[in-house]
Amino acid sequence: MLKKFAVSFLTVAFLALSAATSLAAPDPAKLDELKALNQQMFTLKKQMVDKQLDAGLLDQEKATKIKTFIEERQKQMEADFAKGQYTGFGKKQGQGFNKGCKRQAPDTPKTSPSPSNT
């Protein structure tokens, strides 16, 4: 009797878990829409870097480095889409301020005194 109960319980558990994963499958049409929106986003980011370069806010070396990073991220997103995954923004590493990132948040903002305060 105990064996039948154990087998029945495991069968029901297996079916329940497999049904949940099949219901969570992404919709291909929605993934295509997200892919198109991400393509637009990366194109706009590259245009913003070009405008910052034209305005003199960035030098050529920094602009090239930023655009290379954008292109690498775009390739990673396309590879994820090919696998049917969507990672969203960032790499989900949790590397925010005070969580192991290389650059630490400043304790106080560095501002210059305004003429009205002197």
Encode the chain (118 residues) as per-residue pLDDT tens digits: 777 777 777 777 777 766 555 556 667 787 788 888 989 999 999 999 999 999 999 999 999 999 999 999 889 888 887 877 777 666 555 555 555 555 555 555 555 554 544 4
Per-residue pLDDT at 19? 59
CA angle 38, 42, 43 (to 5 degrees): 115
Tokens 């301020």, located at residue: 97
Angle CA(75)–CA(81)–CA(23) in degrees, nearest 5? 160
pLDDT given at position 50 = 95
Extents of the domains making up the chain? 50-86
pLDDT at residue number 24:
60
| CA distances for 84 relative to 26, 51, 89, angstroms | 7, 34, 16
